[in-house]
Amino acid sequence: MGFQEGGITMDRSLKMVAAKFAIACVIAIIILIWAVPIIWMILSSFKSTQAIIEPRLVVWFKPTLDNYKFIFETQNFFQYLVNSLIVAISATFICVTTGTLASYSIARWKTGGSVFANWVIFTKMAPPAILIIPFFLMFKSIGLINTVWALVIANITFNIPFVIWTMRGFFDELPEEMEEAALIDGCTRLEAFWRISLPVARSGLITTSIFCFLFVWNEYLFGLTLALSEKSKTLPVATGDFITGYSINWGPVFGSGSLILLPAFIMVLFLQRYIVQGLTVGAVK
Do residues 90 and 230 both lie within one domain? yes
Residue 260 has pLDDT above 60, yes or no: yes
Phi and psi torsions of 218, nearest 5° = -95, 0
**Cβ–Cβ < 8 Å for 223, 237:** yes
Alpha helices in 75-175 (DSSP H): 77-109, 113-125, 132-141, 148-173
* pLDDT band at 278; cut points 50, 70, 90: low
Assess if residue 120 is contained within a domain. yes
Q: Which domain covers residue 12, as residue numbers?
A: 2-44
**How many residues are given for the chain?**
285
H or E element: which one contains 71? helix 66-74
| pLDDT exceeds 60 at position 25 | yes
**Per 3-state DSSP, what percentage of the chain is helix, strand, and coil (rounded to 5)?**
80, 0, 20
Report pLDDT for 237.
94
Buried b (16+ CB within 10 A) or exposed e, 164-175: bbbbbebbeebe
Does 242 lie in the same domain as 166?
yes
Kindly state whether residues 228 and 189 are assigned to the same domain: yes
pLDDT for position 213: 94
**Residue 204 CB burial class (10 angstroms; 0-12, 13-18, ≥19):** buried
Residue 6 has what pLDDT?
A: 53
Report the chain's mean pLDDT, rounded to a whole number: 87
Q: pTM, whole model, 2 decimals? A: 0.85
Q: What are residue 243's DSSP bridge partners?
A: 248
Residue 23 lies in a domain: yes
**How does residue 285 score in pLDDT terms, banded at 50, 70 and 90?**
very low
Q: Tell me what the mean pLDDT of segment 245-269 comes to.
A: 88
For the segment 86-96, the average pLDDT, to the nearest whole number, is: 96
pLDDT exceeds cutoff 60 at 149: yes
Mean local confidence (pLDDT), 93-113:
91
Quick one: pLDDT band at residue 257, thresholds 50, 70, 90?
very high
Per-residue pLDDT, 3: 47
Can you tell me the distance from the alpha carbon of 226 to that of 151, in angstroms, rounded to the nearest whole number?
7
- Give the pLDDT confidence of 157-168 residue by residue, as tens digits: 999 999 998 898
Q: How far apart are CA 68 and CA 170, in angstroms?
A: 42
128 & 228 share domain: yes
- Answer yes or no: are the C-beta atoms of 53 and 250 closer than 8 Å: yes
CATH number at residue 276: 1.10.3720.10
